[in-house]
Structure 1
Amino acid sequence: MTGPDAGRSNGRTAKPLLSVLKGECLDVPPMWLMRQAGRYLPEYRALRAKKGGFLELVYDSPAAAEVTLQPLRRFGFDGAILFSDILIVPYAMGQDLWFEAGEGPRLAPTLAETDLSALKPDFSRYEAVYETVRRVKEAMDPAVTFLGFAGSPWTIATYMVAGQGSKNQEPARRLAYQQPERFGAIIDAIVEATVTYLCGQIDAGVEAVQLFDSWAGSLSPLQFDRWVVQPNRHIVEKLKTVHPDVPVIGFPKGAGAKLVDYAVGTAVDAVGVDETIDPHWANGVLPQGLPVQGNLDPLALIAGGEAVEQAVDNIRSAFAGRPHIFNLGHGILPDTPIAHVEALTRYVRQREGA
């Protein structure tokens, strides 16, 4: 069964995902999937072809709202994730942003060659995203939790310094070692711009936010503390002064054994676990009662069948007794069969109402 009420029962918590983020344990975990609004859906591909480029789609608020809602209609997920892009923050900070076909995002001027003070911020570039939030909020099922997001400062800085994705994030890592004060100023500016962005999303209607640190795994332990843990802690602290009841999910992809330091040091309300981490280990070392999210391998979902069922059973047994949101360990891949997502949803929820 698909649609907004898929897999739900009358005895279930009214807003299950938000309840788990606030520390409640449920027999059946709520679920959503990172990048659930995207290229694996034919309705997304059709809309993208009609609207043109990716950035044009993000800045068309009615279309971006439609993209956000598409996976909810198909799968009845417990969470909606805002359709946007992490690079809206550097765009608002004054860099030019565009997407090269088949190659990904580009930013200019690069901060490897230009001083931060040369950029002219334009925070009106957030407004279309806020309008998307308002449109989604008005249209979505009230039982669904609406998630906003931003990239974490380290990950955003890697793009701002290099102007694009880079192997092992070497340009940003070099700058951080060689000119730590200059790099620190970049990080501080990203923190402030991110807090503004997330507060705006919350004011427009999102109920929780996720911080994506996609490149956290490229840093040494000391650098991880300085450029991942501390900046994210500052974001959490600043958000909580304005919106103390809005949960923050931290997702430090590739953190490995540093996951515990991240969870404790950032004071996030929940931590995302990527697919490389043993969920039994994570459950044993993370603070008791801390909600976790994850961590099915996106490639297992492509394989489907027994591979998915074994992985789901392992994840759920690992996090039994802990507040848990079922999700992937990273974003859903474009060639993921829709039938496999439907089967995953049924399997995760099979004990609901039992």
Structure 2
Amino acid sequence: MSRQKAEGKFLQTLAGTRFPTPPIWLMRQAGRYLPEYRAVRATTKSFLEFCYTPDKAIEVTLQPIRRFGFDAAIIFSDILVVPDALGQKVWFEEGEGPKLEALTDPSQFGRLSRARIADHLAPVYEAIRQTRAALPPETALLGFAGAPFTLACYMIEGSGSKDFAKVKTWAYSHPESFGLLIDLLVEAVVDHLAYQVEAGVNGVQLFDSWAGVLPEEQLFHWSLDPMMRIAKGLRERHPEVPIIAFPRAVGPAMLMYRRPDTFSALSIDTGIGAHWAAKELQPHICLQGNLDPIMLVAGGQAMEREAMRILDKLGHGPFVFNLGHGVVPQTPPDNVAHLVEIVRNWKPGAP
């Protein structure tokens, strides 16, 4: 199915249409909180093998759509498939998360090559083709990638980090060589997103999960500018594709990303106030967000009140209901079903 044929509520909202009730999907909606996901995961030895096995990636992508009827699916994969495809060693330790053979010197860049991406990530693109064919026409399919700064963080730190001292020291002390890595990642991410669009996704999301560790000037240079270059490069190949930007934890600097000529929507994290976002961001661009994932764990009246508050603040303009980050493993599935019910039954009053 072509991208243009899936014209449900989600895609129309990204194009600026406001509906009486907003569309909803959740980051990490396919994940360990679902027993059916855990059953499939148990059949695969490693997480990367899981991502690269199309029938399993398809199944877990479809599971939350079957269970909750979200307005969009997001292909099951990981942002670190890009450094893996470039030639950096990537693996996942159970209970610890991703590990990479860390880059320590620019001479190692020569081992990385975009030429591997199409073949190495062919299973991801095959999963997209089959998932798009299996989804209802009104349900959008999202592709995604990590933004260059976040990918560089993992590639230089070798894992997640509390202070990102290695990557920031490299970027601050040797901006020329760090810029070479960012340039490579911009090109690689454009390739990866373009291949996803060609396989059938209806839109893409760029995750800059660690953008918030940067000071403002460096935030523009190492986060926003590369994301803008990716948007430009992708649109040169696929002019109509919607692009959602998610620069996490940047606070009021989110104003820099308020660029409707570049991004179709901004995904806001829990630290962005809904009232401020409605005033400063939403008149210019579609918003997505921003329920605290732990509210989804807590459920009950606390979740109801917070979901209603967000809807009352942001539901009067183009808005996609989502979380401020991803669903966490301890989330009760019944709470997710209740959240969908709250969003579907919301009635807009006065803004």
Normalised by the size of structure 2, how large is the TM-score?
0.94
Alignment correspondent of 2:328: 333
Alignment correspondent of 2:308: 313
Alignment correspondent of 2:219: 224
Distance 1:209 1:238, change over 3 A: same
CA positional deviation for 1:104: 1.2
Distance 1:258 1:76, change over 3 A: same
1:33 aligned to 22, 26, 31, which one? Answer: 26
CA positional deviation for 1:287: 5.6
Q: Secondary structure at the match of 2:164?
A: helix
Q: Secondary structure at the match of 1:332?
A: coil
- 2:279 maps to 1:290: no
1:102 aligned to 92, 95, 104, which one? Answer: 95
CA RMSD of aligned residues (A): 1.7
- 2:56 maps to 1:63: yes
CA positional deviation for 1:14: 5.8
Alignment correspondent of 2:131: 136
1:1-354 map, 5 Å: 15-112=8-105, 114-121=107-114, 122-123=116-117, 124-264=119-259, 267-286=262-281, 288-351=283-346
- Encode CA deviations 1:120-164: one digit per residue, 9 max, x unaligned: 452211111100101101111111010000000100000111221
CA positional deviation for 1:112: 4.8
Distance 2:111 2:257 in 1: 33
* CA contact 2:244–2:265 (8 Å) conserved in 1: yes
Distance 2:96 2:106 in 1: 22
CA positional deviation for 1:266: 8.1
Distance 1:278 1:293 in 2: 13
CA positional deviation for 1:241: 1.1
Distance 1:174 1:204 in 2: 38
1:336 partner amino acid = T
* CA contact 1:62–1:132 (8 Å) conserved in 2: yes
The count of residues paired between Structure 1 and Structure 2 equals 341
Distance 2:104 2:137 in 1: 42
1:81 partner amino acid = I
Greater Cα shift, 70-79 or 278-287: 278-287
- Encode CA deviations 1:246-305: one digit per residue, 9 max, x unaligned: 100000110101001122398211000101111110111116241000000000111111
Q: Secondary structure at the match of 1:166?
A: coil
Distance 2:59 2:243 in 1: 25
Distance 1:266 1:40, change over 3 A: farther
1:327 partner amino acid = N
1:106 partner amino acid = K
Distance 2:143 2:291 in 1: 21
Q: Secondary structure at the match of 1:327?
A: strand
Normalised by the size of structure 1, how large is the TM-score?
0.93
Distance 2:102 2:109 in 1: 10
Alignment correspondent of 2:3: none
CA positional deviation for 1:119: 2.8
Q: Secondary structure at the match of 1:31?
A: coil
Distance 2:221 2:291 in 1: 29
- Encode CA deviations 1:98-132: one digit per residue, 9 max, x unaligned: 11121111122524575312334522111111001
Q: Unaligned regions of 5+ residues in structure 2, if any?
A: 1-5
* Identity fraction in percent: 46
